[in-house]
Chains A and B, each alone.
Chain A
Amino acid sequence: MIKAISNLGSYAIETIEQIGRTFNLLLIIAWKMCLPPYQIFPIIKQIYFIGARSLTVIIISGATIGMVLGLQFYNTLERFGSVGVLGSAVALSIIRELGPVMTALMVVGRAGSAICAELGIMRITEQVDALECMAIPPDKYLVAPKLIAGIVSVPLLNFVFNVVAIGGGYFVGVIMLGVGEGSYVNGMIDSVVWGDVRLGMVKSIIFGMLITLICCAKGFYLHLSQYGSQGAEGVSRATTDAVVISSVSVLFFDFLIGALMS
């Protein structure tokens, strides 16, 4: 009984420590980014890895989700005889909710896990310590480019996703199911306002920061967590944790930002 309670206590302490370390890492990086030397190429390389290489999966998932939304909204709206609002229904739900969330989840799955595994392996094979020995600040050299790349890439991917998904909805609604082209396009243009695009943009910037930060912190501080001494198994567990925690926090923050901003 006492052991169960003390297990709970150690779990709580561990969780709070991790949250603290994660935000501490964010503050340290925000400070160190202001100090020279400034290096552009590592950031470009990370934007290439997180952003450009995710483009295919974003385009495929965007088209699929747009088509699914077009189909399902059509079936539902047809019952009420108002297929004319299909365009605005698809565009609003994608721009406000599905675009940022799906993009963030795709990036977590494709790039977040890789970031966490890369940093975790560098940590357990003591490459991070080697950098420190050479007086290269590892947080600035390893984590900062990934964080900046996440903040830049995820919003860009989100806009690509939105456009492709609206196109997918257009394909199903107008070309396959015969909704009027004018009512789809003009309904969308009339109902979407700048505030909707801004909400989606703010969401995806915050998600981009959140997922790269969580995945980096999980890998970078692997030696401080309970899996630290477990070698390759520890890396795999930390990666799993990073993906689960960042996905869940994306969904939670989605609700939070939506509630605060609208």
Chain B
Amino acid sequence: MAKLNIELITGIFVIIGIACFTWLAISVAGATFSEQPGYSLTARFSSISGLREGAVIEGAGVRIGSVTAIEFDPDSFEAIVHLHINEGVPVQEDAIAAVRTQGIIGEKYINIIPGGFEELLTEGMEIYETESAISIEDLVSRYIFSSDG
């Protein structure tokens, strides 16, 4: 009886621990063991300052994908961002990918602004229209120097 009790309580403890881990990993950290169906695109930016792998991609404010990888292209001195777009979300050939900030000091994300073309981008293609990250320091310094002269 004592042996059974110990085993029972230990089993309950292990179940509680694993349940907590699963909740942390799946709900909080958003780990997915099977990749969400979708397709990947690339985009080149002259600056993505602050964007991280795993950042959100939004369309009309709704989450439609995530950034899977960020590379640096030494020839053109540009950043190549790999985007994973969820299945069923159309991205037109002339859609614009813009690096934006949530609030003033929030996280960087990529906003997709739809285009007017009929042709849709498919797996592995590139979004040509991009807008780089807006640096507040740049804006401030431009304002200071323009008002100076």
CB of B9 within 8 Å of the partner chain: yes
Q: Is the interface of A mostly helix, strand, loop or mixed?
A: helix
Name the residue in A152, A155, A159, A162 with the highest tally of chain B Cβ atoms < 10 Å from its Cβ: A159
CB of A244 within 8 Å of the partner chain: no
**How many A-B contacts if CB must be within 8 Å?**
78
* Contact assessment for B16 and A55 in the assembled complex, using a CB-CB cutoff below 8 Å: yes
CB of A68 within 8 Å of the partner chain: no
B32 vs chain A, min Cβ distance (A): 9
Q: Residues of B contacting A82 with CB < 8 Å?
A: 105
* Contact assessment for B17 and A157 in the assembled complex, using a CB-CB cutoff below 8 Å: yes
Complex Cα spacing A162 to B29, Å: 12
Given contacts A155-B17, A163-B20, A194 and B31 within 8 Å (CB-CB): yes
Given contacts A52-B13, A194-B31, A159 and B6 within 8 Å (CB-CB): no
A98 vs chain B, min Cβ distance (A): 14
24 example contacts (A-B, Cβ-Cβ < 8 A) are as follows A45-B6, A47-B14, A48-B7, A48-B13, A51-B14, A52-B12, A55-B13, A156-B13, A156-B14, A156-B18, A156-B20, A157-B17, A163-B20, A166-B28, A189-B30, A190-B107, A192-B28, A193-B30, A193-B54, A194-B29, A194-B30, A194-B31, A197-B25, A197-B29
Residue numbers of B with Cβ under 8 A of A are 3, 6-7, 9-10, 12-14, 16-18, 20-21, 23-25, 27-31, 54, 56, 105, 107
